[in-house]
Structure 1
């Protein structure tokens, strides 16, 4: 289902403006709201759906960064997305 790139999750640099690759979405994670660029295919995965439900409960549809904010630690987020890389 779709193309796989060697680096499925990219941590975006806060000091450089990045263009969003087609098929990816930016999310903000952790206390410092670090920006990660992930494949949109993750949004349909059950583990990621749980994170989206938590985001909805905490923020509703008003995300402080203007993008999708995920209310979990960076470690938890990276563990979940690492598991999704193998799918």
Structure 2
């Protein structure tokens, strides 16, 4: 009985104006819906869809560990990812680290070349 309650509590809904995501190492994050306006979060959700598919019966899990998600949240809270160049650079970094063999990583190569020209890296 206690396990059943813990499982239900673990996957409980978020308060109004928020959504819940889980990291690949099963950490729970409650984020404001406004984060969905950020390109970085939309792209992370696309990666999750590519990795795990869509299902209404399981919690939304991103294919990143908690450290990566915390890093993106911190950058978002400090408005660091508000410029297109920084968002694209972060997306390339995440895709390179987590999705080396995916087609998504291949799609970002043109963005990487553009950023190299702009930022000198």
TM-score (structure 2 length as normaliser): 0.51
As a proportion of its length, which structure holds more helix? 2
Structure 1 runs of 4+ aligned residues shifted over 6 Å read none
Which structure would you say has the larger RCO, counting Cα contacts within 8 Å and 6 or more residues apart? 1
Query: How many pairs were matched up?
Result: 72
As a proportion of its length, which structure holds more strand? 1
Q: How does 1:8-87 map to 2 (within 5 A)?
A: 17=9, 20-31=14-25, 33-62=26-55, 66-87=58-79
SS of residue paired to 1:69: coil
Unpaired stretches in structure 1, ≥5 consecutive residues:
1-13
Cα-Cα RMSD: 2.3
TM-score (structure 1 length as normaliser): 0.68
Unpaired stretches in structure 2, ≥5 consecutive residues:
1-5, 80-121
Tell me the distance in 1 between the aligned counterparts of 2:48 and 2:42. 10
